[in-house]
């Protein structure tokens, strides 16, 4: 097993990786920006190294500093977590060429399916249903773009081929705004993801967002760990997730799972991966693959009793999966609420010092967070500061436990979206199993 792993991330996912490493008896190196020097994973790691100023572009995106940290600490591998450089093929390639193990798929695989245009092309070849047959790079030729849009049929959506998080996505209602939205998306994508490649596909109004969690060892062994429903979003970003998926025909889910497994085998995929789909009118349409651990991996762990992060590390070391598909059993239901430092009404971010923190507990409650009383929430990073997870033998019990946990949760010093979660969870539409 690895002797030492560099954790090239921050926040709750850095702490989650650190805990997995401790269980595997692996030494850890916590990388951090100046402002994160008192973050929980930094305080708990065996070693820590400051890799730059508070600004993410100068620290957590600083590839030379990250690799240098691995070199000076004699680490074996680098875990990228999620976000930042986790799906950056150039970073993965530099890690590999520097003699370290990138804990994730190979740079070649990330290049193939981390790019959404390339991924859609691969999925079409194996028969995966997609939203459009015209998913390729858009140039500045208005006539060509106009023809593609007309063949797809308005409304359409313009998306960046790289990146994620629901960012730089623009809906086009008619021809009059087509070119303007293409140029806007290219500009936003260049700023956010350092790449202006964009494509278009059919826009579905109010679909469900369904994802399939897989893990593959690159040796022909692939396990599908059920599906998650991530339909509750704000600003195209997930905010509440639950598993397993309800009210979708098992025959359709089984078909999609089979195709996901087929992709992993054909590509010799190695690591965890998430295939994302939009569901509407009893059909599922592929939209992208995430080649990293997901924020919402927790709810899959709760219903399968399978540690995804530990398995991810073992596979990166070269160990085969020690379980088969028939060994995976789904028990109960799990819900995750992303706790963000933001206003519950207009979602404007909030920063400052946490003056009081009370974390809920009880049977079936899990808390994933790096925050503590006295911790300073910075404006430099994503607003998510914690994840609250509930589990129960049924959806109804998981929901009741989540409502109770939210009522117990106290975070003072910054604004949070706790009240927003309460409003959603108390709505009739979310309580569809118990509402009359």
Fold classification of 4-101 is Rossmann fold (3.40.50)
Rounded to 10 degrees, the C-alpha dihedral 137/193/265/19 comes to -170
Candidates 401, 374, 380, 378; CA nearest to 302 is: 401
Q: How far apart are CA 391 and CA 366, in angstroms?
A: 8
* Domain residue ranges in the chain: 4-101, 132-202, 208-425
Report pLDDT for 224.
Answer: 97
Q: What does 159-204 look like in DSSP terms, one character per residue?
A: EESS--TT-S-EEE-SGGGHHHHHHHHHHHHHHHHS---EEEEEPP
Query: Please, which residues have CB within 8 angstroms of residue 387's CB and are 6 or more apart in sequence?
Result: 12, 295, 298, 336, 337, 338, 339, 367, 368, 369
pTM score of the predicted model: 0.94
In the CATH scheme, what is the code of domain 132-202? 3.30.1490.20
- Residues of the chain whose pLDDT is less than 50? 435-436
Q: How far apart are CA 221 and CA 353, in angstroms?
A: 46
Residues 139 and 200: beta-carbon distance below 8 Å: no
Q: What is the chain's length?
A: 436
From the CA atom positions of the chain, what is the Rg in Å? 21
Report pLDDT for 435.
Answer: 45
Q: How far apart are CA 1 and CA 278, in angstroms?
A: 38
Between strands 198-202 and 237-243, the pairing is unpaired
Q: Which two tokens stand for residue 164?
A: 């994620």
Distances (CA, A) of 369 to 5, 56, 308, 340, 377: 21, 19, 17, 11, 12
Spell out a b/e string for 85-102, using b for 16 or more CB atoms within 10 Å of the CB, else e. bbbbbebbbbbeeeebbb
Q: Which two tokens stand for residue 229?
A: 């429903």
The residues carrying an active-site annotation are 292
3-state secondary structure of 379: coil
Q: How far apart are CA 263 and CA 259, in angstroms?
A: 6
- Alpha helices (H) along 283-394: 297-304, 308-317
Between strands 4-7 and 27-33, the pairing is parallel
Let me know how many helices (H) and strands (E) the chain has, helices first: 13, 20
Residues 290 and 297: beta-carbon distance below 8 Å: no
180-185: list long-range contacts, CB under 8 Å, 24+ apart.
Answer: 182/138, 182/140, 182/145, 182/158, 183/140, 184/158, 185/158, 185/159, 185/160
Fold classification of 208-425 is D-amino Acid Aminotransferase; Chain A, domain 1 (3.30.470)
Predicted confidence (pLDDT) per residue in 236-280, tens digit? 899 999 999 999 999 999 999 999 999 999 999 999 999 999 999
Q: What are the E-state strand segments in 186-309?
A: 198-202, 208-217, 222-234, 237-243, 270-280, 283-290
């Amino acid at each position: 097993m690895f002797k030492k792993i560099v954790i090239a991330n921050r926040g709750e996912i850095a702490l989650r990786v650190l805990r997995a490493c401790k269980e595997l008896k692996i030494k850890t190196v916590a990388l951090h920006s100046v402002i994160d020097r008192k973050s929980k994973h930094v305080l708990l790691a065996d070693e820590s190294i400051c890799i730059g100023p508070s600004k993410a572009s100068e620290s957590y995106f600083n590839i030379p500093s990250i690799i240098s940290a691995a070199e000076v600490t004699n680490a074996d591998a680098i875990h990228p977590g999620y976000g930042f450089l986790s799906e950056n093929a150039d970073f993965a390639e530099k890690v590999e060429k520097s003699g370290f193990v990138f804990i994730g798929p190979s740079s070649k695989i990330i290049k193939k399916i981390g790019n959404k245009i390339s991924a859609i092309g691969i999925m079409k070849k194996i028969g995966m249903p997609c939203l459009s047959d015209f998913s390729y790079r858009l140039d500045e030729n208005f006539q060509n773009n106009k023809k593609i849009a007309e063949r797809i049929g308005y409304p359409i959506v313009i998306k960046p081929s790289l990146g994620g998080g629901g960012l730089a996505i623009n809906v086009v209602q008619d021809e009059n705004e087509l070119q303007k939205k293409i140029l806007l998306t290219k500009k936003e994508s260049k700023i956010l993801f350092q790449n202006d490649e964009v494509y278009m596909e059919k826009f579905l109004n109010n679909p469900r967002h369904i994802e399939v969690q897989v893990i593959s060892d690159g040796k022909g062994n692939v396990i599908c760990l059920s599906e998650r429903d991530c339909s509750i979003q704000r600003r195209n970003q997930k905010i509440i997730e639950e598993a397993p998926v309800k009210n979708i025909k098992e025959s359709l889910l089984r078909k999609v799972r089979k195709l996901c497994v087929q992709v992993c085998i054909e590509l010799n995929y190695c690591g965890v991966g998430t295939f994302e789909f939009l569901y509407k009118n009893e059909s599922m349409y592929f939209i992208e693959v995430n080649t990293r651990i997901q924020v919402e991996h927790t709810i899959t762990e709760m219903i399968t009793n399978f540690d995804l992060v530990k398995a991810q590390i073992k596979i990166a070391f070269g160990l085969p999966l020690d379980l088969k598909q028939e060994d995976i059993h789904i028990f109960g239901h799990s819900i995750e609420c992303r706790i963000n430092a933001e206003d519950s009404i207009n979602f404007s971010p909030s920063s400052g010092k946490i003056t009081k923190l009370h974390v809920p507990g009880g049977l079936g409650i899990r808390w994933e967070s790096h925050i503590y009383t006295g911790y300073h929430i910075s404006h430099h990073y994503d607003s998510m500061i914690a994840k609250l997870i509930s589990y129960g033998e049924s959806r109804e019990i998981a929901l009741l436990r989540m409502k109770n946990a939210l009522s117990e949760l106290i975070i003072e010093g910054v604004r949070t979206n706790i009240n927003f979660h309460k409003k959603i969870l108390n709505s009739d539409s979310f309580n569809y199993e118990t509402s009359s």
